[in-house]
Chain A
Amino acid sequence: DGGITQSPKYLFRKEGQNVTLSCEQNLNHDAMYWYRQDPGQGLRLIYYSQIVNDFQKGDIAEGYSVSREKKESFPLTVTSAQKNPTAFYLCASSIDFRRQEGNGYTFGSGTRLTVV
């Protein structure tokens, strides 16, 4: 079955630590995205990647970094510079960055990050 896998489901981070959230897809999708969900604020775009070896900042990229070395993988690193990292993080992919017909994005099941 094709889909997107996010791991881990729950992650705890100490103050000052960097942590990396994994996102893997086997849908052969070109585009991948990272969103953050906070209560009452919906889904806010952190970073997106249209193709391998390319990515752009979204609306709230400060304190985050990404890489796209393989088509299947788009890991997100939450750095110590992110002042309020506790949130639910969602990874998504789409066939093509420019075309969102049909189902639009396919989402992973998310990672809940908590700073302790």
Chain B
Amino acid sequence: DQQVKQNSPSLSVQEGRISILNCDYTNSMFDYFLWYKKYPAEGPTFLISISSIKDKNEDGRFTVFLNKSAKHLSLHIVPSQPGDSAVYFCAASAYNQGGKLIFGQGTELSVKP
């Protein structure tokens, strides 16, 4: 059972435009969500996170939105840059269920100049 799903395996965006990456989850006990960025042959690096008590968190060009009723979160990148081209993973955890992170399948973002 895939508790965290990223249904778009890939996304292509023009430089300067907005990139929107989506993530859906099924476990209503999840209370903390993170986005990681991964380049080929490297480990993922933390990008941004959001607690379930918030519906938005912003850090520079990156904003994460959380819609708890829809069990959906999204990552917005504005403006997109070629260096943003990477695989993006969303992850979720539930403190009262052990806290370990459950990852989605990843979305490969390609930002074209």
Contacts and interface: CB of A to CB of B under 8 A. Distances in A.
A43 B101 CA distance: 10
Contacts, number: 71
Interface residues of B, number: 25
Interface string A41-58: 111010010000000000
Given A48-B100, A100-B99, A107 B32 contact: no
Contacts of B41: 9, 88, 109-110, 112
Contacts of A103: 34, 46, 49
B113 interface: no
Interface in B13-45: 32, 34, 36, 41-45
Interface string B65-101: 0000000000000000000000001010101001111
Interface of A: 4, 6, 9, 33, 35, 40-43, 45, 48, 88, 90, 92, 96-110, 112
